[in-house]
Amino acid sequence: MSDDRGYQVVRNDEEQYSIWWTDRDLPAGWYAEGTEGTRDECLAKIGEIWTDMRPLSLRLRMEAAGSAA
């Protein structure tokens, strides 16, 4: 089965990434990252840029706790 849809990489305020169809409006809270292409191309981009799976709020809390020690 061929997937001829266009996809884009999207990111939310917690710096979590996903893919979304280019022909649909983005869901609330998600923003275009700038990469568009096939599903596999977009997933490969996410694999390159999303190296820390922790949400931004958790990373900031951990960083603050580490600097307070």
Q: Has this prediction a pTM greater than 0.85?
A: no
**Is residue 34 included in any domain, yes or no?**
yes
The confidence score (pLDDT) of residue 58 equals 92
Domain-located, residue 28: yes
44 closest CA partner among 55, 32, 36: 36
pLDDT of residue 1: 58
Q: Look at the chain and report how many structural domains it folds into.
A: 1
Within a domain: residue 39?
Answer: yes
Q: What is the CATH number of the domain that holds 41?
A: 3.90.820.10
Domain assignment of residue 44, yes or no: yes
Residue 57: predicted pLDDT? 92
pLDDT for 63 equals 87
**Residue 54 falls inside a structural domain:** yes
Distance of CA 7 to the CA centre of its chain: 13
Give a yes or no: residue 2 inside a domain.
no
Task: Please check whether residue 1 lies inside any domain of the structure.
Answer: no
pLDDT in tens, the chain (69 residues): 567 899 999 999 999 999 999 999 999 999 999 999 999 999 999 999 999 989 899 989 998 988 765
